[in-house]
Amino acid sequence: IKLWFGVDYYPEHWPIERRGLDAELISSAGFNVVRLAEFAWCRLEPSPGKFNFQWLDEVIELLSTKGIKAVLGTPTAAPPPWLVKAHLDILPVNFQGHRMPPVARRHYCPNNPNYIKASERIVEAMAKHYRDNPNVIGYQIDNELSLGDEYCYCDHCVTLFRNWLKNKYGSISELNKVYGTIFWSHEYGDWDEIHPPTPPFDECNRGLSLDWFRFRSKSFVEFLKIQVRILKSISPNKKVTTNLMGLFPGVDYYDLSRNLDFPSWDCYPKFARAYYDPAWISMLHDATRCMGMESFWVMELQAGPTDGYAGHPIGVTPDPGELRKWLYQAIAHGAEGVVYFRYRTVCFGKEQYWHGILNHDGEINRRYLEVKRTGEELKKIGEILVDAKCKSDVGLIFSYDSLWATLIENRYYAKSYHEQALNAYKGFWHHGVNVDVISPDHDFKNYRILLAPFLYLTNKNLIEKLKNYVENGGLLIATARTSVKDEFNRVYSNGLPGELKDLFGLRVTDYTSIPPEIEVKVSTQYGQTSVSGWLEELTITSAQVLGVHEYEWLKGRPAITLNRYGRGYAVYIGCFLTQDASKLIADRIIEERLVKPPVELRGEPVELVSKEGRDYRLLFLINHDPKSKTVELDFGKVLEAKSLLRGLHVKGETVKVTLNSHDVEILYFED
Ligand SMILES: [Zn+2]
């Protein structure tokens, strides 16, 4: 497989005389792909139905003379002014009834028939024009598909929502029953009496709100599918993707990605924060990989300081070495394409400070030289890196239903759903144990361990899957607030955790929220650990106790339990996870050899990731700190390895590796 190494390039922002030099610099950095045209609708179709692809053809042609291919963005994230003028109704309507002003981007309703028609026309024209152009390898549909919580309440959306509900529930009495509309006298007599819930959603009916989140997500999935159908019917061999935003809540990305050749995402590790968490970035890579079939791209990788945005300050500048490091981190976690955003920082419009590789002046700078050096390395080792795949024994369930249910109850819990997922992930990340971040629909059977942090919502199917998984020998680890609600966002009336009581061998008989600033302890035979946010009283039926609460009235009561179920085990943690608690659990699991890290890592902490090729293995060591670090790798037996980035050979049972500031080492082992 070829590694795609690229940059997002906006030739339409610069004088035509500059293009030759741009092509030269893009080529000599080692790039083999560019993304083009994602916001260029007004140039591609300057007036309704009149297309102009000539400027884009010229750019593609020029770059192709240097062996550079193109991914084209379908430009539907930014409707041109003539389209808004002709069809004001394409503008989304917020919950207060105001149309979104067409002053930025994403000012369209995905359900609007006029917008869908205009989108079909430009996408079809593009696909036909580039059908036989071998230099266009694929398409990125739209850009960061989503609308905020305020949108869209236009007449089309309201009507479609009612139809969607009708289709789902069949009768209004069934809907009344599952929503519990008797509460506050909401019983509906007809479908057109239903109004979508509005922010703050926690004021509204829980079932209706969750269905609204699902409907909004489906609206974008359907909008994307229209474009996929057009592109694939005209160019079945060109790849189709779209650029996601990690585990952004607006759209169920697992659902969306089913329609793509592969997903891609926009990765800005230092966006709006001086201190970022590299484990969070790793987790988002792993999640995006699991949204597709093994492979994904990073379609935008941070290449300089980010702009201020939505009240955030201008981001800190990446340290020397970080651009290279982030690229290897993405590849370590399975990326087959990495595209830096953007080639050159723009001088006008919004995003004047969303820096590219080059600054505004277009001169060669230290970031360019770093990327170029990385490009030279990739020419030698790129294929070896992407031919190897990530294999994980640990799965982490990320449920959009649970995420949405907790967002509807915004600030009810001291810990967010995302944070609980990250804490669960991090215990294993520290050991270099690969984790798949999967949806509840994913097949569980290949995982030795399944993490289910804050799995707030369950349905019959998921309950069956979890039971089957454990029955057949799996180890399931769940936390407080598991299976509190059913698929209609109703609390189970038969005690918690719903139909999973026998799986965990316990019943949650009482609980308390804990303010975020208060740290409480749980004691185990391996010492104490801090937990936070939520504590539960667990009444045991068949589980054994692994840890007890230290908190006031719960002192001495079971806090962590283990239940044998079929051939496997189910662990229940009656609190929210801190990183400390997650580490204690992961440490124990590794000590018990239930999963094995690729090597034992001693010394200062660095990120460790492994990949498996057909007859070789790769170990990535990534130093996420500005200071140099020395680690010792214990292979458990004498092994020989080649260092791919330094050309050295290492041999021994233990090997010492020193990593400079933000440096990366990749060890290659032949099987
Ligand atoms: Zn709408």
Per-residue DSSP letter, 588: H
> Residue 181 domain-assigned?
no
Active site residue 144: yes
Is 426 in the same domain as 339?
no
Q: In this predicted structure, what is the pLDDT of residue 274?
A: 63
Host H or E run for residue 329: helix 322-332
Closest-CA residue to 606 (of 628, 589, 590, 585)? 628
Q: What is the residue whose two structure tokens read 């992930």?
A: 425
CA of 79 to the centre of ligand 1 (A): 15
> Residue 167 domain-assigned?
no
DSSP string, 457-497: B--HHHHHHHHHHHHTT-EEEE-SS-S-B-TTS-B-TT-BT
Q: Which residues surround ligand 1, an ion (CB under 5 A)?
A: 109, 111, 152, 154, 157
Residue 379: how many CB atoms within 10 A of its CB?
A: 12
Is 355 in the same domain as 465?
no
Q: In this predicted structure, what is the pLDDT of residue 560?
A: 98
Q: Give the end of a domain, one of 573, 591, 609.
A: 591
CA of 110 to the centre of ligand 1 (A): 7
Q: In this predicted structure, what is the pLDDT of residue 293?
A: 85
Task: List the CATH number of the domain containing 32.
Answer: 3.20.20.80
Write the ipTM.
1.00
The whole-angstrom separation of Cα 657 and Cα 202 is 52
CA of 208 to the centre of ligand 1 (A): 18
Is 244 in the same domain as 315?
yes
Is 371 in the same domain as 446?
no
Per the CB < 8 A criterion, the answer to whether 283 and 421 are in contact is yes
Q: In this predicted structure, what is the pLDDT of residue 86?
A: 98
Q: In this predicted structure, what is the pLDDT of residue 242?
A: 98
Alpha helix segments (H runs only) across 333-446: 366-387, 400-408, 417-429
What burial class does residue 642 get, using C-beta atoms within 10 Å of its C-beta: 0-12 exposed, 13-18 middle, 19+ buried? middle
Alpha helix segments (H runs only) across 547-605: 579-591
| Residue 397 Cα distances to 210, 424, 556, 566, angstroms | 19, 10, 30, 21
CA of 320 to the centre of ligand 1 (A): 45
CA of 184 to the centre of ligand 1 (A): 28
CA of 400 to the centre of ligand 1 (A): 22
> Residue 313 domain-assigned?
yes
Q: In this predicted structure, what is the pLDDT of residue 432?
A: 97
Q: In this predicted structure, what is the pLDDT of residue 519?
A: 84
Q: Give the end of a domain, one of 386, 408, 426.
A: 386
Is 363 in the same domain as 400?
no
Is 579 in the same domain as 617?
no
CA of 113 to the centre of ligand 1 (A): 10
Q: 499: which residues sit within 8 A by CB, 6+ positions away? A: 458, 460, 463, 483, 492
CA of 109 to the centre of ligand 1 (A): 4
Burial 533-572 (b: 16+ CB within 10 A, else e): bbbbbbebeebeebbbbbbeebeebbbbbbbebeebbbbb
Is 379 in the same domain as 400?
no
Q: In this predicted structure, what is the pLDDT of residue 312?
A: 86
CA of 214 to the centre of ligand 1 (A): 15
CA of 51 to the centre of ligand 1 (A): 27
Is 99 in the same domain as 121?
yes
Q: Which of 38, 300, 377, 550 is catalytic?
A: 300
Active site residue 300: yes
> Residue 219 domain-assigned?
no
- Each residue's pLDDT tens digit, 69-102: 999 999 999 999 999 999 999 999 999 999 999 9
For the chain, list residues with pLDDT below 70.
273-275
> Residue 229 domain-assigned?
no
Per the CB < 8 A criterion, the answer to whether 276 and 175 are in contact is no
> Residue 190 domain-assigned?
no
Cα 293 vs. chain centroid, distance in angstroms? 14
Give how many domains the chain has, as a whole number. 3
Q: Which of 45, 144, 419, 607 is catalytic?
A: 144
Is 325 in the same domain as 248?
yes
Q: 57: which residues sit within 8 A by CB, 6+ positions away? A: none
CA of 159 to the centre of ligand 1 (A): 9
> Residue 172 domain-assigned?
no
CA of 153 to the centre of ligand 1 (A): 5
Q: In this predicted structure, what is the pLDDT of residue 247?
A: 97
Task: List the CATH number of the domain containing 541.
Answer: 3.40.50.880
Is 535 in the same domain as 641?
no
Is 113 in the same domain as 85?
yes
> Residue 184 domain-assigned?
no
Domain range enclosing 55 = 4-147+238-386
Q: Give the end of a domain, one of 591, 608, 628.
A: 591
Task: List the CATH number of the domain containing 652.
Answer: 2.60.40.1180
Is 323 in the same domain as 402?
no
CA of 239 to the centre of ligand 1 (A): 29
